[in-house]
Every structure is written in structure tokens, then in C-alpha cells.
Amino acid sequence: MAGFSSKTSVYAFSITLAALLLQSFVISPLEENFRTDQYVSIVSFVYISHGVKLLLALTLGLAAFPAIFLAALINALLFWGVSITSFTGALIGIVSLGIPLILHNASVKKDLWHPPIFNNEVDFSALWLYLSFSLIASFANGLLHSALYGFHNDALPFYFILGDNIGALVVFLLIMMIRRIILLKTIRELR
């Protein structure tokens, strides 16, 4: 893919790992203090890592997937230890993210490696792409992770879907706020 370098790969890995570690060390402990359900240790209601991985998939396409997978695997190994669950959980995250990306690129007749956000031939808004990718990926993620954990509860897939989408919305709003700050600063400098 043109424009994708080892530096970009390191960036994708670093930002994914940082989001996963923030999730594991800050957000999950906070949730454990406020939530009382039995799934608090395996599912978050504000899973920001989902939003970060979505941004990378939309801007870098499938080329970002090895870095995302490696970061997810390292995070899983740190918190779950060496197990089939660690590897499978990281793999589920990539497969879930790949489904909307492959479906989108196939529907707009682009190669599978193409980053969807840079498709100037199709009139999709960034918000529409982000939200539709989030919904599809979180649905697949919820079903596959629930299967991994044995479907202990019929509501478990919806916990994953809810947490992924709330996390994605938080990340999207943060990115929009940062974008606005940068634009306002640029406008002031141009005056």
C-alpha cells in the first residue's frame, strides 16, 4: 500500500497498545468500582480501544491489522497470561474489524487493502463510515467473544456491543474536539 511504512506501523502499534493499556489500567479499574455485574472483568461499557482500532482501520486499511493484532496480543498476554484465550481474543478483535472493512471495500470495488476514509470516488461521510464500521465490528466482536467465554448469559453479546459502541463514540468525540481546536488555532494564525 502506498504511503504505509514501518514508521506508520510502529505508530499504529503504539497508539493501539496505549489505548489498550489505558483501558486495562484506568478505565477497567474504574468500572470495577462502580459496576456490580459478574462480567465486569471481561467486558467494558466504555471500550475506547474499539474506537482507536476503528480509526486505524479506516485510515490505514488492512495494512494496520498486524500492528493492531500484535498490540492486542501483548495486552492480552499481560493480563490473561499465555493461553489460547489470549491469542483467540486478539484474533477475534482483528476478524471483527476486518469484516466491515472487507465488506465495504468489496461493495465499492476497491482492493481489500484500501483505507475506506480516503475513497474520494464514493460519497460517504466519515461519521457514517465510522458508525457503520463500529456497529458491524462490535456485533461480530460481541458474538465471537461471547462464544469464546461460553455464552454464560444471553445478554453478554449486547454488553460487548454496548461497550464497543460507547467507546467508539467517546473516541470519535475526542477526535472531533481535537480537530476543532487545531482548526481554530490555524484560523487564528492565518488572520
74's CB contacts (< 8 A; 6+ apart) are: 17
Question: How far is the C-alpha of 152 from the C-alpha of 18, rounded, in Å?
Answer: 30
The three-point CA angle 92-97-98 to 5° equals: 95
**Quick one: what percent of the chain has pLDDT higher than 90?**
40
* C-alpha cell read off for 107: 461493495
pLDDT class of 120 with cuts at 50, 70, 90: low
Question: How far is the C-alpha of 28 from the C-alpha of 30, rounded, in Å?
Answer: 5
pLDDT class of 49 with cuts at 50, 70, 90: very high
Residue 95 three-state SS: helix
Q: Does residue 35 contact residue 46 with C-beta atoms inside 8 Å?
A: no
* C-alpha cell read off for 144: 465471537
Q: State the average pLDDT for the chain.
A: 85
- Summarised one tens digit per residue, pLDDT across range 11-38 is 999 999 999 999 989 999 999 999 888 8
- Summarised one tens digit per residue, pLDDT across range 67-119 is 999 999 998 888 877 888 788 888 998 999 999 999 988 888 888 777 877 66
> Which DSSP string do the residues of 104-154 spell out, in sequence order?
HHHHTT--TT--GGG-TTS---HHHHHHHHHHHHHHHHHHHHHHHTT--ST
Write down all domains in the chain, each with its CATH number in brackets: 6-190 (1.10.1760)
pLDDT of 112? 76
